[in-house]
Copies of this chain bind each other. A is one copy, B any other.
Amino acid sequence: MEVATLPAIADVRAAADRIRPHVHVTPVITCRYFDRAVGAAVFFKCENLQKVGAFKSRGACNAVFSLSDERAAAGVATHSSGNHGQAVAFAAGLRGIPATVVMPRGTTEIKRRAVQGYGARTVESGPTLAEREGTTQRIADAGGAHVIHPYDDADVVAGQGTAALELLRQAGPLDALLAPIGGGGLTSGAVLAAGGGAGPSDGDAAPPPVVYAAEPKLADDAYESLRTGVRQPERPPHTVAEGLRTSLGDITFALVRGGVREILLVDEQEIIAATLAFVTRAKLLIEPSAGVAVAALLRYRERFAGSRVGVILTGGNVDLAALGALAGRIDG
């Protein structure tokens, strides 16, 4: 399948300017424990400290603030039970336009309330991807709302790319960039940012960082898509990394295939252990989806030894009781 228009580095730079008034410049931290464990200089980009607690506010803000006033007036719609739903609700609230977030049956009350807390309307749908997308499209058709896909959207990808762009500016030249991959929006944005150069360009510019993506073995559709060269559909994924239970889209498959060196697979025990190790050592709350990148960093340390690595921590929206239960399982 041909993809009409892929976003480019110029779109990421434009997104950075567009969303600057609305999102945080998140800190980049280092932690000696992980530097030693990996034998590398690791720079963690703390998108867990981002608005709505996840990088998703970057893409949502870029999409919402890219709309013309006329388009925006009809509002936006999306389907997501996770961070993207909150991010779209947040961005729409900032712009003062209506937002509808379709959430599958079984979504927890706390997640629904979080979206409503940002001023959006929530609508329940059936649990399958087709049902979620169908409900969203019907709402858009009826009221004219603009649909913001969670990742297969050029504006969303460009917005997510600002996380890597910012990291490269903050940390200086990096040999490698590592991000968790679900639908591929964050990784695609990192591919654009890595290829585009981040600092003032000159003749001695460092080579661009190699981009790696980290994926749960239980949701390895991106790995299989790259291995086979054919985009693999969503299978029912049961990984603890809720945010990564999605498969690539057309745009993200094209960018990931073109720019990612390797997809690094990690198993559930590694994800849990890495998430807990990070929270315990760095004292920063991250969600298991972010822990997937930390797990890959540790498991594939020979890829990174002796180099400067940037790791994007996707978010920090995690239920503490659930996290504690995982900790109890590991300790016991």
Contact = CB atoms under 8 A, between A and B. Distances in A.
Interface residues of A, number: 23
Contacts of A106: none
Interface in A315-332: 316, 319-328, 331
A319 B327 CA distance: 8
B316 A324 contact: no
Main SS at interface, chain A: helix
Contacts of A320: 276, 279-280, 323-324, 327
A285 to B, nearest CB: 4
Contacts of A53: 283
A38 interface: no
Interface string A225-264: 0000000000000000000000000000000000000000
Contact of A331 (B49, B321, B328): B321
A323 B324 CA distance: 6
* Number of chain copies forming the complex: 2
Contacts of A284: 283-285
A78 interface: no
Contacts of A280: 285, 320
A48 interface: yes
A283 B48 contact: yes
A59 to B, nearest CB: 19
Nearest to A27: B27
Interface of A: 27, 48-49, 53, 276, 279-280, 283-286, 316, 319-328, 331
16 contacts: A27-B27, A48-B283, A279-B320, A280-B285, A283-B284, A283-B286, A285-B285, A321-B324, A321-B327, A322-B324, A323-B324, A324-B324, A324-B325, A324-B327, A324-B328, A325-B328
Enumerate the 9 nearest inter-chain pairs by beta-carbon distance, A residue then B residue, closest first.
Answer: A324-B324, A320-B327, A283-B316, A321-B327, A321-B328, A283-B285, A48-B283, A321-B324, A320-B324
Given A283-B316, A324-B324, A324-B325, 19 more contacts: A49-B283, A53-B283, A276-B320, A279-B285, A279-B320, A280-B320, A283-B284, A283-B286, A284-B284, A285-B285, A320-B323, A320-B324, A320-B327, A321-B324, A321-B328, A321-B331, A323-B323, A324-B326, A324-B328
